[in-house]
Chains A and B, each alone.
Chain A
Amino acid sequence: MGNSTSGNLLDVNNIEVVYNDIIQVLRGVSLSVTEGKIVALLGTNGAGKTTTLRAISGLLKPENGLIRDGHISFKNTDITNKLGTHVVKLGAVMVPEGRRVFKHLTVDENIRVGSITRKDGSKNIRSDHDRMYEYFPRLKEIKHRLAGYCSGGEQQMIAIGRALMADPEMLMLDEPSLGLAPLLVREIFDNIRLINREMDTTILVVEQNAKIALEISDYAYIMESGKIVLEGSSNELQDNPDVKEFYMGITQGGGRKSFKEVKSYKRRKRWM
């Protein structure tokens, strides 16, 4: 199966992931990413989105996780349970959740270290390095500051820049909007779209903020408790009433329901 040619950049086929040999997090997840597109993976907390990303990028091991069933292929190469290094070398890089920059390294070093797996000469690396500063001009100003002292938005840019330095064909982003102010979220997502267009990088983005994710993506999957429950082109999903209600907080009337009302409704339920 591993070498079947599907035309997709990434194929995830019915994978099951187990942590510590007992806790099953993914129960048969399948998805595929077509080259050059932005694909969004949406879902609530604990649905298994992050685990899916980690399974793809070979980062389950540190958390004691294992793909027990199913397989993943990237560029028609089987990468099931392969180590992170291997996957990065093949061209799929993940930006982990929660802006995990190297706090004690400077911004410049953070970006530079992203090129660790590259073998295509220091010239290319240097030109890519400069290009990162073009994408994120803000980072150039704070080049020599320790990344740990940068703001959340800056850290997210560093993390993305760092991942791009590996010259990936596919970039995976894990909740880039987490804990960021609305204005920044927009900026980050604009950047993502830009990267997709200018660098021809395929993007797989995991998000909770369904609204903005559906806005920029071409195709989307929705996960719930370890399974894909819905998929479709982003435009379709945007109009899906269920998606609207459960993931975007928009009632059927089109308006937003007030949290206070929810409160009194639920309290009534509580007393009943």
Chain B
Amino acid sequence: MSYFLQLVVSGIVVGSIYALSALGFVLIYKSSRVINLAHGQIIASGCFITYALNVWVGIPIYLAFVLSLIITFFLAMGVERLFLRRLIGEPIISVIMVTIGLMSILDGIIYLTPFGAENFSFPEFLPTTPIMMGDVSISWTQLVGVIITALLIGGFSWFFKKTTIGIAKRAVADDQLAAMSIGVSVPKVFGLAWATAGLTAAAAGGIIGNITGLNFDTLHAVGITVFPVVILGGLDSILGAVVAGIIMGLIQQFAGGYLDGNWGLNSTAEVLPYIILLIILLIKPHGLFGTHEIERV
């Protein structure tokens, strides 16, 4: 039983990190209908910036974390301005490919830094003794990660539901021309969407970096791993990202816990999310919480 509980707890921890990573996708998609494949790279850069500020510059870790959020906020805004602004209104494939190109470019830039080929790890700043709840344990790093995730996700859902600017962002996603007609500045909204996505990516990067250490391969693989989560959640739903993130976290833990090692199966956690994603999509073609296009013939 405690084995099961531990899997559940770990699943939720990993899931909430997925959710936070997925949140960036959702924020961008929700206002600009762009799916950003370079998100993994932004996550990685957020993580590297935190590290550089903390270790090389010597800024205290929490401050470094907040600063990296701000830097990445503007970084992502710049990326949007530079690369995506021109592509407003182009077909999906162009937009997908631009973000793929962006992925390569960011890769290249990161290779220019020491982070490209070397490994680092954050200095410990939280107690290393785990928190025990009965037999179930969770590390401080993970706990802090979950709390930050919860705060950010809560904040953003409130923002989209309740504030006029939040509604305006959704409005832009719906109909750009109409949004412009009532005075919404579409470019600003897109820039803001990327900026906030960059912010969440940096947060996710900081958390993941603390858990796994700073290895570029591992960090930017998160970008791809989060895909099934984003799609499962339905691309434009924050709630969907959270639910799907936790589902995927649990699936991976259970797959690792109960399937691997039996019946000759191995690393099922790598493939199971995709299989489950396919099955769910066939039942619900717009993911669990995705908006159905309202089509009138």
Contacts and interface: CB of A to CB of B under 8 A. Distances in A.
B171 interface: yes
B175 A115 contact: no
B138 to A, nearest CB: 38
B294 A146 contact: yes
B166 to A, nearest CB: 9
B177 A105 contact: no
Nearest to B292: A104
A104 B167 CA distance: 11
Contacts of A58: 180
A103 B185 CA distance: 19
A109 B181 contact: no
A163 B167 CA distance: 15
Contacts of B89: 62
Given A116-B164, A149-B294, A105 B183 contact: no
Contacts of B165: 116
Interface string A181-197: 00000000000000000
Given A96-B177, A115-B164, A104 B294 contact: yes
Contacts of A93: 181-183
Interface in B282-297: 291, 294
Nearest to A163: B182
Interface in B188-236: none
Given A112-B167, A148-B294, A117 B182 contact: yes
A84 B181 contact: yes
B181 A95 contact: yes
Given A96-B178, A104-B294, A105-B174, A166 B183 contact: yes
A164 B170 CA distance: 20
B174 A109 contact: no
A104 B176 CA distance: 13
A94 interface: yes
B181 A57 contact: yes
Nearest to B184: A116
Given A85-B183, A104-B294, A117-B182, A62 B171 contact: no
A57 B164 CA distance: 22
A59 interface: yes
Nearest to B295: A148
B240 to A, nearest CB: 14
A34 B185 CA distance: 28
A102 interface: yes
Contacts of B168: 113, 116
A104 to B, nearest CB: 5
Contacts of B177: 59, 62, 96, 100
Contacts of A148: 294
A114 interface: yes
Contacts of A117: 182-183
Contacts of A57: 181
A100 B175 contact: yes
Interface in B153-180: 164-165, 167-168, 170-171, 173-180
Contact of B167 (A113, A146, A149): A113
A162 interface: yes
Contacts of A223: none
B182 A113 contact: yes
Interface string A2-36: 00000000000000000000000000000000000
A105 B167 contact: yes
Interface centre among B164, B170, B178, B294 (most CB of A within 10 A): B178
Nearest to A58: B180
Given A62-B89, A113-B168, A104 B174 contact: yes
A84 B175 contact: no
Nearest to B176: A62
A95 B182 CA distance: 8
A75 interface: no
A145 to B, nearest CB: 12
Given A96-B178, A149-B294, A109 B167 contact: yes
A83 B171 contact: no
Contact of B180 (A62, A113, A166): A62
A89 interface: yes
Interface string A105-139: 10001101111110000000000000000000000
Nearest to B175: A100
A88 interface: yes
A188 B168 CA distance: 26
A162 B171 CA distance: 12
A85 B181 contact: no
21 contacts: A58-B180, A59-B180, A83-B185, A84-B185, A87-B183, A88-B183, A94-B181, A100-B175, A100-B177, A100-B181, A101-B178, A103-B175, A104-B173, A104-B174, A105-B170, A105-B171, A113-B164, A114-B182, A116-B164, A163-B181, A165-B182
Given A89-B183, A93-B183, 5 more contacts: A104-B173, A104-B291, A115-B164, A148-B294, A166-B183
